[in-house]
Amino acid sequence: MSKKLKGVVIGPSGIGKAHIRELIHYGFKNICLIGKKFRKKRLDILEKEHRNTKFFNLKTISEVKKRKPKVINLCSPTKFHYDQILIIKNFCKILIIEKPIFWIKNKKLSNFKITKNLLKSQKNQIFVNLPMISLAGQIRKKDKIKKIERFDFNYFTKGKNKFENIPIDLLPHALSFLFVLNFNILDNFEILDIIKKKYSWKCKILINNCLCNFFFKQNFKRKNSYLSFKINNDFYVKKQFLKNNVYVNKLLKNKKKLINIKNPMSDYLNLIFKNFNKNNLLKNNNNITINSTQLMEKLINY
């Protein structure tokens, strides 16, 4: 691993901390940070914890050009993503965007068409961080799931989003999970019902003849996130335990069987790092992103 391997994280707070952690674990030795505020204290803490990695505070995105990074991880709030992507794609070929890739709140514009054109341009390798791709892949291997006729996905998080911002934030998880488990091509879908509330969002939809129920809640006072899902008649709950200062992830199946799994966030980011030059991973990620955006646009504008 080259000691000169450089990365940039835009939005180093919140989910950005996980991206910084995985860059360090993979072997990046130079990491630049661009936050909403220029915080020297953040740098001091990171340098104390990771003495073999050099960190740099940048004040503006334009400073990234001089750093010539191998990869840029975009973890800022979704509302800034599109404008920032248009800038950073000129500074670095490989971009990792925290989901969703972006969302423009203008019904006269199609997020689906813009996303499709951006990802098909081939000037950049743009990966969207979708940890549920890892989780679904692990389950498919362990339980040998084939045809799915019913899929329920419940995700209650500590987020601060309200109303339509809740599905914008959480639908990429549910849809990417389903696409990996059940199908690669989006043939047809029918919206059966949607219930929108201030702190929750529900929908019932037929996707490729699979009956799907999604239920999302967000509450910033929640101590821990809760993820459960039902595949046909099997019910799963994701569990996370702290053991020797390391988080261990498991699935509880049908309230009695514990299944060991890799941390989906860590596993998927590392998969991207290891396969920058493999077109199959990029193509799969882009197809899932495009299909998800197409469905999201219909559901959110319903």
Here the CATH number for the domain that contains residue 58 is 3.40.50.720
Two tokens, residue 19: 């991206």
Q: Is 71 among the domain residues?
A: yes
Q: What local confidence, expressed as pLDDT, does residue 121 receive? A: 83
Give the pLDDT of residue 3: 52
Tell me how crowded residue 226 is: count the other CB atoms within 10 A of its CB: 13
Count of domains forming the chain: 2
Q: What is the pTM of this model?
A: 0.94
The CATH number of the domain holding residue 165 is 3.30.360.10
End-to-end CA distance of the chain: 49
Q: Which domain holds residue 83?
A: 6-98
Spatial distance between the Cα atoms of 135 and 131, rounded to a whole number of angstroms: 7
What amino acid is encoded at 151 in this protein?
F
State how far the Cα of 302 lies from the Cα of 295, in Å rounded to an integer.
11
Check: CB of residue 152 under 8 Å from CB of residue 232: no
| Same domain for 147 and 222 | yes
pLDDT at 1: 43
Query: Which stretches of the chain drop beneath a pLDDT of 70?
Result: 1-3, 184
Residues found in the chain? 302
Beta strand segments in the chain, E: 6-10, 30-34, 54-57, 71-74, 94-98, 125-129, 150-157, 189-196, 200-207, 210-218, 226-231, 234-243, 246-253, 257-261
